[in-house]
Amino acid sequence: MKSSALLNAVFVCLVVSIFCSTMLLLASYNKIYFVKLNDRENLILNNFWKADLDYKNYLIENNTHLHDQTITTQVNFEDWGILKIKNVESINLNDTLNISKMMAGGSSNQDSLCSLYLTDRDEPLKLGGATLLRGNIYIPNRITENFYHPDLKNKIILNGEKFASNKNLPVLKNKNLLDSLIRSVKTTELLSFDHLKNYNSFSNDIKIYKASGYLPEAINLRGKIILYSEDHIIIKKDMKLEDVIMIAPKITFEDDFSGTVQAFATQFIKVGQKVNLQYPSVLYGFANDTINISIGKKSTVAGAIILNGDTYKGSLKRKLQVREEALIIGDIYIYGTTELYGNIHGTLYTDKLNYNKQNINNDNTLINSVIDITALPSNFKKILTFENTESYEVIKSL
């Protein structure tokens, strides 16, 4: 009996000691857990605070410590086509947090109520059919004329002030963007589609793939990826592209494609019918010879369209054509001729206008078109950046 009682007592003591040790161990782990949780919280707060700094404030306030002196946060900006990428990396001992955000440098919609800027070539703006211009317009000598034709029934609405335009368009920032992009691509190793990586984080190095003609139909690309060709890139409707850049002399988007891209070309960009290029997409053409951008019927482009070059002689060979029921949301900048048969929710800057349809071929003429700056949300962030006017703000988390 005595030995049995002694054995029970030892067992109870063992259980109690194990229980107490377990409680002490749990308390210790709990303390470590909450310390790590607090460190992680400070890391996230530091990272998010830096990520939310706008570009201008970052240049003024570029410190690397917040909340805790053990946390180091590095911020860098890099160009991504016409946009910028903000990469934020916070490090606390062995813990690292990366965040990337996309930024646009144009004005907010509420900062500018300009719907049309037409260069002064000493020819008045002529309006016909069911045409709506809502917002301030900058036109030659502040003069508009009605355009009459037997096949047209005029219903013209002007809602905004008229201002005199200049002999030249406002100057874009970094007009040689395409040249610098091509130079940087040619100094980087081009990858084949045999090494295709569907997603590439914006905190990584750029992946540049050599593309020519039809790409693999099942392609699904997202992130810091460039498609480059010395001839022609053709995008089919079943492909999925998000935040991807493409560079080629000729670029074609076939009917019904949907995605978010920046396309840079030197000969033409053709957007088929019912294509949906989502914000912040960019179509960018640059050449001093013949170059065209065409937007097919019932297609939508949200972001910016730019057609530019160095010479006025070259501008005579540059043309944008927006077909019927197409919608452009954002800014259009054309150092050349614009044929507008669709609608714009935003601003059109153009050197010349032309209407060539229904047996009518007339310069500086808008017929049956809508340009409405007020159709944009008040917080819409534009993509076009003009000299000395850029103001970068976050538009998208990546």
Query: Could you read off the pLDDT of 175-221 as tens digits, one per residue?
Result: 778 778 877 787 788 888 776 778 888 888 889 998 876 677 778 89
3-state SS assignment for residue 25: helix
Q: In whole angstroms, what is the distance from residue 305 CA to residue 334 CA?
A: 8
Measuring CA to CA, which residue among 309, 347, 351 is closest to residue 167? Answer: 351
Question: Which tokens hold the place of 58?
Answer: 């970052």
Q: How many residues does the chain have?
A: 398
Long-range Cβ pairs for the range 25-29 (8 Å, 24+)? none
pLDDT at 78 over 80: yes
Question: Which tokens hold the place of 288?
Answer: 């001093």
Q: What percent of the chain has pLDDT over 70?
A: 81
pLDDT at 56 over 80: no
Q: What is the pLDDT of residue 49?
A: 46
For 273-298, write each residue's pLDDT tens digit.
999 999 999 999 988 888 999 999 99
Q: In whole angstroms, what is the distance from residue 28 CA to residue 5 CA?
A: 34
Q: In whole angstroms, what is the distance from residue 364 CA to residue 42 CA?
A: 59
Q: In whole angstroms, what is the distance from residue 220 CA to residue 272 CA?
A: 20
In the chain, % helix, strand, coil (3-state, to 5) comes to: 20, 45, 35
Q: Could you tell me which residue, 25 or 308, shows the higher pLDDT?
A: 308
The per-residue b/e assignment along 138-167, b for 16 or more CB within 10 angstroms, e otherwise, is: bbbeeebeebeeeebeeebeeebebeebee
Q: What is the pLDDT of residue 75?
A: 78
